[in-house]
Structure formats: C-alpha cells, structure tokens
Structure 1
Amino acid sequence: MSEGTLWQRLRGWLTPEQTGTAAAMPGGTRMADSLRHLLDDPDIPASIRSELAADFGRVETMLDRLQRGELHVAVFGRVSAGKSALGNALLGREAFTVGVLHGTTTQAEQATLDEAIQDGLVLIDTPGINELDGDARERLAFEVAEVSDLVVFVADGDLTRDELDALKLLAATQRPVLLALNKSDRYSPDERASLIAHLRERTQGLVRAEDVVAVAARPSPQRMIELGADGREHVRDTSAPPEVAALRERLLGIAQREGKTIAALNAGLYASRLTDQVSTRIAESRRQLATKVIRQYCLAKGVAVALNPIPVADLLAAAGLDAAMVLQLSRVYGLPLTRAESGRLVAVISAQLIALMSAIWGVHLVASALKGVSAGLSVVITAAAQGALAWYATVLIGRAAERYLVAGKSWGELGAKRAVAEIVASLDRDSILREAREEILKRLKR
C-alpha cells in the first residue's frame, strides 16, 4: 500500500465528520493506543528491538507528542534562504542561530512557538538542502520531515530545480506543505504579487494556493533622513519589524482546526512503516534460521542415506528425517504442526516431486537396490551420488514446506502442484548436488 493511500485510509479512520481539534481526539486516542501496542508487543524479538532502537525511540516521542497535543513544524529551504531567521521571527525571539555567509544550521533545532503554546505548535529548524556536505544534511532534513507533522518550505525568489525537486519529495510524504516567499520586501507590491502568482502556478498540486504566502523575516533596514540640531540632514538606518503575520495565522489556523488529527495521522504513517520494517526483519530472521535447519537435515539425511547399506530402508529413514525437519520448520514460523500433520505435508510434497522428477527418484531407487545386490561392495561408488540426491530432495521438501508455512499453512489458489513446481524451477539443481557430494565425501572419508 502506498503512503498516499494509507494517509487517506487513516484520515477516514481518524477524522470524524466534524472538523477540529476536539473532534479529532477520539482518533488521536485510538492512535495512541495503537502506538502503545507497537511499543509493548511481546512478539517482537529483543534483537530486532535493538536493531531498530532509534525507530522505537521515535515512536515513544510521537506518543508523548500526542499526549501533550503538540504539532511539529519542520522549516526547510535552500542555504541562506532565511529559514532560521523566519523561525525566530515567528517565535519573536532568537531561538535559532542565523548565519551571514553560509548555512549555519548543521543539526535540527526546535523551540515552542511562544504565541501558540496553548496549541502546542513546535518549530523545527533544519539544515539547508544544498549545504556543502549535502547528502548527510539532506538525509537529516528529510528524517526530520518524516517525524514532523507539517512543513514550511522557505524560498527567497523563484524556485530552482533543486528546490522544486525537494518540494516534490516533501509533498510526497503527505505532510501539509506551506511555501513562504521570504525577503519579499525586496520586491515592489506589483512584483511581489506577480511572483506569488507564479509560485502558486509552479507548485500547483504540491502546495495549496492559499498556503503560498509572502514573508520578510529580517526586512532590510529602512533609511531615515533626520534634521539635526545643527540644521544639517543626517542619515540613519532603522530596523523594520518582521512581516510574518500571514504565515503565523496560517500555522495557528491549521493547528487549531486539525493539529491533533495531523499529528495522529503522521504518527500512524510512521508506525506503519516501522511495523513493516519489523515484519521484514522477523521474516528475514526466520528465513535465516529456516535455512540453517534445512541445511542441518540435508547433511544428516545425505550422510545417513549414503552410509545405509540396506536396500530401500535408507529411503524410509529419510522420510522420517523430512517429517522431523518440517516439524521444526513449523516452530520456526510460529505455526506448529503435529507429527501427523508434518507427515501428511511431507507426503503431499513428495507426491508432487515424484510426479515432476520421477526419473531422478528412479535413479535413487536403483542406487539403493545396488547396495543389496553387491552386499555393500558398491556403496563407495553409489553412496555419494545417492546421498546427494537425498540432500537435494530435502532442500526441495524444506523450501516447499517453508512456502506453505509462510502463506499461513496454505498452498494458495494454484495448489500444491504449482507451488512445488515453482520451488523446483527456482533452485539450481546442479550446484546443490555438487555441494552435497563434496560435503558427503568429506564425511565419508572421515
């Protein structure tokens, strides 16, 4: 499922017919319960929790944010577009470092917006998207976006290709995006209106038209001419107040209308991605363990078949080993089978293998019979080959059983025949037989 589709499904689940923070609270409570369940899930192995410790830490942070009712706003933009200055202007204090020559934000910083403490609005300043050490800082920036609820993208003119590409990536995260045209005091009123209209056209489908606003975080000083006591004119530069009222109103309006709903939606998206990661890690861990189990039984069965001098009896013993292997695989995948179920599953898979590969099993039976005819004298000649075939059969049975278990004890719509045929086609028989012969001969020589 795409993130956009998931966003829409979550929005339908979380947002009642009425809009607003109060109406969003039931959905927020359910999302908080869902996050707690993910954090406390006893079925997640400790090793995977350790590998994904940072991600679980983020979920805990998101849960705290939901409980505190915070809305986190990430401020993005090109180096020196005025991100930090804009954050300070919105806050009404110097919370973020502002540089003159090059970007100075090397790691994300955050501060609560003073005028919106009751709404829990939190600004996050991020590194410039084209800093010298671009890849690392861009990654940091997008990681911040991933755990933020809303994005303010800061530009100081028409968008460059890099800026537009970054804006598309941010919009794809499904966070609401506002575009702030900073340093707008450099333009005349007509030029400003024309540039805003142009930006709205270029970002159509990415940013709502009403969310493209003009700001001036640090307006250029205004030059004043004063008449001194000596009767002479004196020039004095005076600082102009920031022009961020339109952006502040937009942010506060969003926070008041649907702040908690947005926070819950983004928490749900992040938790969904983490759940997918956990599922993938668990599946990979099980696959690795299953591979070890299958190899152990391949070796045991291959050597047992190679050493057994009694005609056909080695095949009967091999069937018992296959059933034991399937039993162990069922425990690896958390779907334990009884001994009877395990035996029936081996019988089903073996029947399909015999139908597909009757010639190979015929050779297997002939090699077994030769042992009796020659009173064991031909074992040295036939043992490695017969053991290799037994090894190969165990690989096929193990992989087929694994597929059946992964699908929740099901062969799917196409049935066992198709599933087993696909397993046979997917494996390199010659390389498996070669490896098997080498391993068996090593042990026979001992």
Structure 2
Amino acid sequence: MGALIAAAILFGAFFILLFSGVPIAVSLGVASLATALMFLPVDDATYIVGQQMNVGIESFSLLAVPLFVFAGNIMNTGGIARRLVDLALVAVGRVPGALAHTNVLANTLFGSLSGSAVASAAAVGSTLHDRQKEAGYDPAFGAAVNVASAPTGLLIPPTTAAIVYSSVAGSVSVSALFVAGYVPGILMGLVIMAIAYVFTRRQGYPKLGRVGVAEAARVFLRAVPGLLLIVVVVGGIVFGVFTATEGAGIAVLYTLALALAYRSMPWRAFKEVVTRTVVATGIVMFLIAASAGMSWVMAYTGIPGAITDTLLSVADSKAVILLLMLVVLLVVGTFMDITPAILIFTPILLPISAELGMDPVHFGMVLVLAMCIGTMTPPVGSVLFVGSGVSGVSIERIVPKLLPYFAGLILVLLAVTFVPALSLGLPGMLGLLE
C-alpha cells in the first residue's frame, strides 16, 4: 500500500507540474522531493535527494554525452551533411522518387554520425527541400519523409540514447547497445523507403539523371572522411580499443579537423556551436541528475516492484504484457522527448522486462525505437516541429502524410520486440553479450 501511495504522489505531482508548463527536470526534482518528504524527515529527505542527484551525474561514461553532442553540432555546421546528401543522391539516384529515398538514406547516414534526429531533420531537410520542390514533389510528402526518417540515426551508433540508457540501466555494455542498434535502425530506414517507393511510383516522381563513374567516385571520396568517423569511433569502442567516453573525445577532434579542412566553420560559427553544446549539455545533465533523485525515491518506496507485481497480476501472457508496455511507451512518446523518457521509464519497465526474461540490451532497443516513433508524433514531437519549420509546411498537412509511416514503424517495433535476434544477433556474434 505504501508503494502505491508513493507512486500516486510521485507521478501525480510530476504530471500536474509538467502539464502546468514546468520544465521536465524541475518537475522531476520537485515531485521526487515531495514524495520523499512523505516518508522521511525534512532534513533527511532534502539531503538524500540532493545527494542522489549529485551522484547521478558523477559518472565518467556520461562525459561521452556532451562530447558526442559537441561532435554532432560540429558536423551540422561543418559541411559534412552536404557531402552525405550528395553521396545518397548518387547511391539511389536511379530509383523512382530518388529525392525521397535520398532523404531517407542521408538522414540515416547523418543521424548516425551526429546522434541527433533534430539536427538530421534540419540539415538534410533544408538541403533537399528546394530540390524536391523543383522536381514537383508534394511539399507535405517530402516533409513527411524527412520527419519519418530523421530518427533512424538514434538507433545506429554512435548514439547518445544508448549511453543515457546504459547509465540508467546499470551494467549494460555500451558496445553491445551500439552494435544492437544496427539491424533495427537499418530495418527502420528500409521500411520507410519501401513506403515512400509505393507513393513515389503512384505519383510518378522522377529518377535522377545517370551519374558518370568519375563523378560518382569524386562524390564518394568527398564523403569518405565523414563516413570514416563511424569506422574509427564505433570500431574502436566495440573492439575495446577505447571506451565510449574516449571515443566521443576522438569524435570531437576528428570532426573539428574535418571542419577546419573544409574551411566551413568560421570563428563565429564555432562559438555558436560551443554555445549550443553547453546549453544542450546543461539540459541533459540536469535531466539525468533529477531522474537519479527520482530513481532513488522509487527504489526506496518500492514503486518498481509494486508496478511489476501489478502488471504481472493483470495478465499471465508474456505477449500481452509486452504489448501493454509498448502502448505505454508509444503514449509517453507523444508528449515526452526521448532523453527524459528513457531516464524516467527505464527504472520502471526494466524490472518488468527482466521478469519476462528479456535481455536488457534487447529492452534498450525496444525502448529507444518506441521513443524514436514518439519524436515524430504530436503534440510534442521535436522532429515533427523541426521538419515543419525547415519545409514551411504546416503540421496539420504533414501528419496525414505520416500515417502510413507510423503504421510501418509500429510493425518494425513489434518485430524488434518479439524477435530478439534482430537486436541480439550481431552483439551475440561478436561476443558482446554477458
């Protein structure tokens, strides 16, 4: 009974504050302190919650988050996106509706490098919007393709979502999470391309002109330095050459060297990149600290165990429980960004997945994929708003065009959930699973 009362106070206070317009991190901290005060003296509650918030960000592995954010911001400003778009144009230029497929492929490449769906939607969408318009594409269709494909990079490493999940989930290997994201991320991109192909054939959108061998080689060579970042950073982390944090530092140095070599980032732009990184890092770290306080309150009051027992008592079927979890995650994703959602719901749902015999790496992929879908759904879909902004198309016009992609991505989510090999096959082959 005490755990249920604590849960009612904690989540009641959190959602009341959240829907009142209070920032998520502040809502988490206030709700956690209010719940702790119901079970502990004032001095103990304030000291312990504050201490846990501090402990929550005292992690060497979390240093990778601001470094990867910094590297992503450098790439977004340093001319790498343009080279990746050109490479994607060459790769899929002979397919009907080539510009739509280019959008998907470029978002997958750039998103995996930058680790940001928002940056990918902005960089790739703004680069291709005018070309799609000139080719006669429906602007709402082009914006929908951009919005649907931008989150694919959140699954394909290097990705900060995996690092944040690893920090909350405990002893879950970042290397295993990185490798586990490849198949779900690629599958996500292929499904989006298949749906786009159906619509582009129906509308008769054109192919691009044939590109000569010499031109294709030139475009590929221009993109190789950016693509090598994946090989260097992810390969080094997966094969134990360096840690995720060290790999993030190498990513910063590498992308900065590319930006200087391309002469595409003047001093003023560099200062803006640093400012954006500091602001984004402050927000993420405050969220992590506040969620650490919330996690301690939940553990102290027994909330995760009570929720696990309640859910397991409601349904005996593993499939039904998994479906209920997916519904919860998809609903949460409609009004919460991916980082706070991972921080809040991992401590709640991870014990349930463990009771069902689900590997934590597998659960991490399910969680991140569900949140990827959430980034493109109203009312709080960050990628949806960015895609609307760069295309100049209203959200009301984009959302109907997104519905087929929602359906396809939910099928991908179901496949990843109920076929563990899609997530665990590659890390298992490389001996990364415990």
Does the pair score TM above 0.5? no
Normalised-by-shorter TM-score class: under 0.3
Structure with greater proportional strand content: 1
TM (norm. structure 2) is 0.22
The structure carrying a bigger helix percent of its residues is 2
Of structures 1 and 2, the larger Rg is shown by 1
The TM-score normalised by the length of structure 1 is 0.22
Does 1 or 2 have the higher relative contact order (CA < 8 Å, sep 6+)?
2
